[in-house]
Amino acid sequence: MNESIAGTNTDPSQTISVGTQNERIPFIDAVRSFALAGIIVVHFVDQFNQLPAHEQNLTRSLLLDGWIHRLSGLFLYGKMYLLFSCLFGVSFWITREKALNKSTNFTLWFWCRTLVLFGLGMAHQSYYPDDFLVDYALLSPVLILTARLADRYVLLLACILLLHPIEIIDLFDQYTKQTSVHQNESLLDAIQDTHSAAPVSASFSIRSGVSIVLKWLAGKGSQTAGLFLVGMIMARHRALQSNHTIRWVLCLTGCTMLSILLYLTRLRFYQSSLDPAIGGRIDTILNFHFSIFMATSILSVLRLLWIHSKTAATVMTLSNVFGRMSLTHYLSHTLIGMFIFGTIGLGLAGKMGCGSSALMAIILILLQWTFSKIWIRHFKRGPLEALWRDATSKLCLILSGK
């Protein structure tokens, strides 16, 4: 699919102007800030998965710790990743539209940008195995491959991907071959325990491989690709810029009701006598769709506050700089967190409760926001955002033979 957006052979060097900071959409930056802050809190509450599952109760010994862990799981865990992934698709379409208006070679720029993101993700994964930048780089081609499709086809593909097809196929396989259920489950448990307990000093290839296998076996690849497509559809119709209050209220009401229904259904399955392996897979599917509707409810609340509350809109606008430097803050927070909780560092995993970990996350977010305010006064983009952009432009020039 080698095409120039405008249909002409434009100079690839013009791609350096794609994705500038002009004409940014404040609400999108605000949602990105909110989602990234939520991801940081979740990572700190979970102490960057530096404790094996059977030792994680050490972080919830106090009543406050238990409540923070439950609230984080209910409102943040998974939901913020969904929002962040959806915004990736939104940003893709907005950038594509800017490239169309400027007659730049968007296809070349996109592939170069994706390659640089993959490199950044692999470097990041060397010290944080649960990185999702590699997933973003590997899955982002689905956006450019579907960019010219009509809405109905993109939406159909998104729905198929969001149905969690891998888990459904696996569930059907487990149900029809129940004699091997316990063996398969014990193997996955062994992989999970190996991943959780492996020290930071373990082989990079082993940690990266195990992390990718776990995520893709759990269907994270299909759900992320589906979220990219949903974001692209939302950007096509400027859904995040809509001030139609009734639609947002209906969206909030419907998604909240569906969230409650799915949550109660999960509880019923949890209390049932189903085989643990089959019940676990059903719970994974239900939890993912619960997270989708919960994330949509949160997005609706944010938009309604933006429309009707000047105070909330002002606060969200002030947070924009944090979202504009999301790559810098995402990579830096894992570096700091792994040093605090990892074995190569302070090794505080299990020695702090969820409450103190969450407080530490909030302090870090405030420090990062302050740094963003100072940095943006002097530069158009964050340090790693600038590196990503410059490396993309140079790679475009090299590949075009300039």
The answer on pLDDT for 310 being more than 90 is yes
Comparing 100 with 363, the larger pLDDT belongs to 363
- The percent of residues above 90 in pLDDT, for the chain, comes to 56
Q: Quickly count: other Cβ atoms within 10 Å of residue 141's Cβ.
A: 15
pLDDT for residue 130? 81
**Amino acid making up residue 331:** L
The pLDDT value given to residue 172:
72
Rounded to the nearest angstrom, the gap between the alpha carbon of residue 372 and the centroid of all alpha carbons in its chain is 21
Residue 170 has a pLDDT of 72
What is the C-alpha end-to-end distance of the chain, expressed in Å? 22
| Residue 12 confidence class, pLDDT cut points 50, 70, 90 | very low
pLDDT for the residue numbered 100: 77
Averaged pLDDT of the chain: 83
pLDDT of residue 143: 95
50 pLDDT tier (thresholds 50, 70, 90): confident
Q: Which long-range contacts (CB under 8 A, 24 or more apart) does 180-188 make?
A: 181/275, 181/277, 181/278, 182/277, 184/277, 185/276, 185/277, 185/280, 188/217
pLDDT at 208 over 70: no
pTM for this prediction = 0.85
> Are residues 134 and 331 in contact, defined by beta-carbon separation less than 8 angstroms?
no
Given a cut of 90, is residue 87 above it in pLDDT?
A: yes
Kindly report which listed range (122-136, 267-281, 283-297) carries the lowest average pLDDT score: 267-281
Confidence of residue 309 (pLDDT cuts 50, 70, 90): very high
Query: In this predicted structure, which of 18-32, 324-338, 384-398 has the lowest mean pLDDT?
Result: 18-32
User: Which pLDDT belongs to residue 361?
Assistant: 97
pLDDT at 106: 87
pLDDT at position 166: 75
The structural domains of the chain, with segments of one domain joined by +, span 12-399
- Write the secondary structure of 207-255 as one string of H (helix), E (strand) and C (coil): HHHHHHHHHHHCCHHHHHHHHHHHHHHHHHCCHHHCCCHHHHHHHHHHH
SS3 assignment, position 3: coil
* Residue 363 binned pLDDT confidence (cut-offs 50, 70, 90): very high
Find the mean pLDDT for residues 220-245: 93
Each residue's pLDDT tens digit, 146-185? 999 999 999 999 999 998 877 777 777 766 765 444 444 4
**Which residues, including other chains, have CB under 8 Å from residue 253's CB and lie 6 or more apart?**
none
The per-residue pLDDT for 357 is: 94
Q: What angle do CA 212, 354, 259 make, to 5 degrees?
A: 65
pLDDT band at 216 (very low <50, low <70, confident <90, very high): low
Per-residue burial over 208-222, b if 16 or more Cβ lie within 10 Å, else e, is: bebbbebbeebbbbb
Residue 73 pLDDT > 60: yes
Between CA 63 and CA 71 the distance in angstroms is 12
Can you give the pLDDT at residue 345? Answer: 84
Q: Is the pLDDT of residue 256 over 60?
A: yes
CA gap 357, 348 in Å, rounded: 10
Mean pLDDT, residues 207-231 taken together:
77
Lowest mean pLDDT among 79-83, 238-242, 284-288: 284-288
pLDDT for 5 beyond 70: no
User: Considering the chain, what percentage of its residues have pLDDT values greater than 70?
Assistant: 78
Q: Tell me what pLDDT residue 61 has.
A: 76
pLDDT band for position 56 (cuts 50, 70, 90): confident
**Once rounded to an integer, what is the mean pLDDT over residues 240-258?**
96
Q: Of 62-66, 282-286, 378-382, which one has max mean pLDDT?
A: 378-382
Residue 82, class by beta-carbon neighbours within 10 Å (0-12 exposed, 13-18 middle, 19+ buried)?
Answer: buried
Q: Give the pLDDT confidence score for residue 20 in this predicted structure.
A: 42
| Maximum mean pLDDT: which of 4-8, 90-94, 188-192, 344-348 | 90-94
The length of the chain is 402
CA-CA distances (angstroms) from residue 177 to 91, 166, 183, 280, 298?
43, 16, 11, 16, 39
Q: What is the DSSP string of 115-142?
A: HHHHHHHHHHHTT-TT--HHHHHHHTHH
